[in-house]
Structure 1
Amino acid sequence: MRRLLPLSAAVLLAGVLTACAGNDGGTKLELTAALPEKVPSGTEIRIGDPAIQAVLGASGLDKELTDAGVAVEWANISGGPQSIQAFRADKLDCSAVADIPSLFAAWTGTSTKIVFQSVTKDPLNHPIYQLGIAPGVNVTSLADLRGKKIAYSAGQAQGALVLRVLRKAGLTRKDVTLVELTSTGDSYVTALGSKAVDVAPIGAANVKVYKGKYPGATAILTGIRDDASTLYCLTSAVEDAEKAAALKVYVGLRAKALLWQNENPDGYAAAYLQKVQGLSAADAKDVIAADGAKAIPATWDNAIARLQATADLLAAEQNHDKLDVTTLVDRRFEKVEAEAAGDRVVSGDAA
C-alpha cells in the first residue's frame, strides 16, 4: 500500500477536546464537539477509497493532503463485506461504500459513522445497477420477474435493490426464488452467463461487457434511484481528535476530487479505470458515460430520508431491529464537503 507521508505539523485548537484518551491512546473528541482545525504531526488514517486515491494523485490534490499534515495508509478495499471485516480486525478506519453497509454494520455490532455523501446528477438515467437478464430468459419489464431466480445478497446494496424492485413490481419474496450469492468481482455476471440465476443486478457500466460476452444476454432499467455513495468510518476513528482532524481535510479534498473527476473524464479514465481497473480506453469511456456526473449535496436531508426508508424496508423483510439512521451519520462533515464544493453543490430532488 502506498503511503502519503505528513509534511507539516500543527497544534489542535484548545477547547474542542476532552481530557480523556481514546481507545488507541489518542485524545478523545466528543461527537458533539467541533471538528479540529489543525492536524498534529504524524497523524495517520487508514482509508479504503481506491478511486479517490487515484484521482487525488492525478489531479495533484494529494499535495494538499500532505501539506495539511495528513498521512494516509491506503487500503485496496471498498464495499461492505470487505470493509466491515477490516473494521472488526482494526485494519481500517474508513471505506468508500454505498449506504447499505452502514446499516449492516449497526445490525451486526460494528459502530460506524457516515462522513461523506455524494449523489449522481441524473440518477434515474445513470443508475449504478441494471437488472442483467440471463441469455434466453424473457424479462422485458419488472412484472416479468414473477417466478424467476434472482441473485440476492442480503448485506449488500444489490440485495436491498432487489427488495425495492420487487416492491415496485407489486411482488413479494414468495413470487420469486432468491438465490443467495455474494456479489464479488464478476460473480453475478458469471452466474447469469451460466444460467445459475435468471436475473441479477449488475453494474450499469458492465452491461455492455456482459452482453458482449454472452450472446442473447439482455438488461433492463429498474427505474429506482440507487446512487447513494458514502465514506463511512469506525466511530472510534471520528472520536479520535487527531484522526477527526485528518478526516476533515480528507472530506474536503474528496469533494474537490469528485468535481475534478467530472471535469477531467479522460484523466480519471487513465488514472483509475485503465491503470487500476485494467480497462481498455474504449471500455473506460463506456463506464464514464454509464456512471454520469457526480455531485455534492448541499445538505444530507434527502440522503438520510432515503437511507431511513431503506432501513425500514430491510428491517421488515430481513427481520432486523428498527434503526434510527440519524445515529449513523456524523453531520459535522456535511458542511465540510459542501463548503469544499462551493457553488457547485446540488439541492432539491437531485440531492
Structure 2
Amino acid sequence: MKIKHILAAAAMVVSTALSAATMPEAINITYVKAPFNLQNIVMKERGMLEKAFEADGVKINWRVINSGAQQSQAMASGALDFSAVMNTASLLLAAGQGTPIAVATGVAHPKEIFAIVGRPGGVTSVKDLKGKTVVGPKGTVLHQLLVAALVKEGMSINDVDFVNMDPGAAMTAVAAGKAEAGLLAANLIIQAEEAGAKVITTCEGYVEPNLVMTVRREFAEKYPEAYQRVVDVNREALAWIRANRDEALKIGAKEQGVTLEDAAKLYDWSGFYDTLTADDIKGLEADQKFLIDNGMMEKAVDVEGLLLPSALK
C-alpha cells in the first residue's frame, strides 16, 4: 500500500515538473488601446488570459508599449513575448533588422482608422503639404501612408518637414496650429476634428493597413502550448465582442475615454478579423516592396516565413 502511495506521489511530482517545463513562469504581453484595439482591451479587462493560465500558475504581465519600434526592441531583448497589436509596417521593419519576430494571428484591417489630418484653417490636399511641417510616428503604417500619399502626388518624404512624434503629441500640435498636418489614428482623429482640424486623407487608395498579433519566435518554439493558448484567447475575445457588441463597446468607450457613439464609429472603422489569408500575404509582399523602394527598409525578408501556422488557420 505504501509503495502505491509513493508511486502516486512520484507520478504527481513528475507531472508537475513536466507541466512547469512546458509552461513559462510569466507571459509578457503588450496592452495597446490605440487605435481601437478592442480584442486587447476586452482580453485584459475581462481577465481572459489570467483565467486561461490560472491552473498552470502562469503570471500575465501587461506592458504598455505603444510604439511598434519599441515593441520590436523589447522582443529582441527578450523582455516582451507578445505584441498584442502591431502594424505590418513595424513588423516588416523589425524583421528586416533581424528581430526574431513572427505573426501569431490577425487583429484588424482598419482602412479608415488612420489619417493625415490638417490643422484648423490649413491645407486640405496632399499636394499642398509641400514644404510644410508634418508630425507623426516614424516607422509605422501612418508613416507609410504619408510617404504613399506624397509619392502619388509626385513628391517624396524629403518634400515635407517630417518630425517624428507620438500620435497624442501630434494631435495636440495640429489642433494648436503648430504643425500643418499630423498622422493620427482612431479617437485622435475625432478629437482633432472637434478642434476644427480636417481629414486630408485616410489610407483608402494608398495603403492597405493590417494589424496583427506578433510573438517572439523563441517563446513560440519553447512554449508551443502556451503560445497557442494566447492565440486562442485572443480569438475568443473577438468572438465574445461579436456576440456581445453593446457590452464590448461600453468597455472600449470607457478605456478610450470616448462616447458610445464614437466607440461604435471606431468599431465600424476597425475591420476586426483573426485568420490571415492569401490576400494578407500579398499585402505584406506589396508593403515590403513599397518600404524598400522608398528607402524605409533595406533588407528584404521571406514574408511567408513570418507567418506561423496558427496565423493561417
CA shift, 1:152, in A, is: 4.8
Structure 2 residue runs of 5 or longer lacking an equivalent are: 1-14, 33-37
Give the TM-score, by structure 2 length: 0.78
1:237 aligns with 2:215: no
**Match for residue 191 of structure 1?**
173
Normalising by structure 1, we get a TM-score of 0.71
Structure 1: gaps of 5 or more residues = 1-7, 13-25, 28-39, 339-351
Listed as ranges, the matches of 1:259-278 within 5 Å are 259-274=239-254, 276-278=255-257
SS in 2 for 1:318: coil
1:150 and 2:129 equivalent?
no
The correspondence for 2:189, drawn from 202, 207, 228, is 207
The CA deviation at 1:253 is 2.0
Partner of 2:35: none
1:320 equivalent to 2:297? Answer yes
1:308 aligns with 2:285: yes
Matching residue of 1:218? 198
Quote how far apart the aligned CAs of 1:77 are: 2.7
Corresponding residue for 2:105?
A: 116
Instruction: Choose 1 or 2 for highest CA Rg.
Output: 2
Alignment RMSD (CA, Å): 3.1
Cα distance between partner residues in 2 of 1:65 and 1:250: 8
For the pair 1:66 / 2:89, whether they are aligned, the reply is no
What's the secondary structure of 2:80's corresponding residue?
Answer: coil
Once residues 50 and 244 of structure 2 are traced to their aligned partners in structure 1, the CA distance between those partners, rounded to angstroms, is 18
Higher helix share: 2
1:256 aligns with 2:236: yes
Moved more, 154-163 or 77-86: 77-86
Matching residue within 163, 180, 185 for 1:180: 163
| Amino acid corresponding to residue 113 of structure 2 in structure 1 | I
Match of 1:287 in 2: 266
Aligned to 1:83, which of 71, 92, 102? 71
Q: Could you tell me which amino acid in structure 1 is paired with residue 153 of structure 2?
A: A
Question: What does the per-residue CA deviation read over 1:16-42, in whole Å, with 9 as the maximum and x for residues that have no partner?
Answer: xxxxxxxxxx97xxxxxxxxxxxx456
Cα shift at 1:277: 3.2
Taking the aligned partners of 1:308 and 1:284, their CA distance within structure 2 comes to 32
In structure 1, how many angstroms separate the alpha carbons of the residues matched to 2:119 and 2:258? 24
| Structure 2 equivalent of residue 47 of structure 1 | 29
Q: 1:37 aligns to what?
A: none
Tell me if the contact between 1:114 and 1:329 (Cα under 8 Å) persists in the aligned partners.
Answer: yes
Q: Distance in 2 between matches of 1:71 and 1:150?
A: 42
Q: Give me the whole-angstrom Cα distance separating, in 2, the residues matched to 1:188 and 1:209.
A: 12
CA distance in 2, matches of 1:197, 1:41: 49
Q: Once structures 1 and 2 are overlaid, which stretch shifts more, 95-104 or 165-174?
A: 165-174
After TM superposition, give the deviation of residue 165 of structure 1 in Å: 1.5
On the 8 A contact 1:179/1:197 being kept in 2, the answer is no
Do the aligned partners of 2:27 and 2:60 also contact (CA within 8 Å) in 1? yes
8 Å Cα contact 1:115-1:329 kept in structure 2: no
Deviation at 1:9, TM superposition (A): 6.7
Match of 1:296 in 2: 274
- Deviation, 1:323, is 0.8
Distance 1:134 1:301 in 2: 39
2:150 aligned with 1:166: yes
Give the Cα–Cα distance (whole angstroms) in 2 for the partners of residues 250 and 85 of structure 1.
Answer: 21
Give the secondary-structure state (helix, strand or coil) at the position aligned to 1:253: helix
Q: Distance in 1 between matches of 2:227 and 2:31?
A: 13
Instruction: Summarize deviations over 1:237-277 as a string: whole Å, max 9, x none.
Output: 1221x2x2211111122122123223433322333430x33
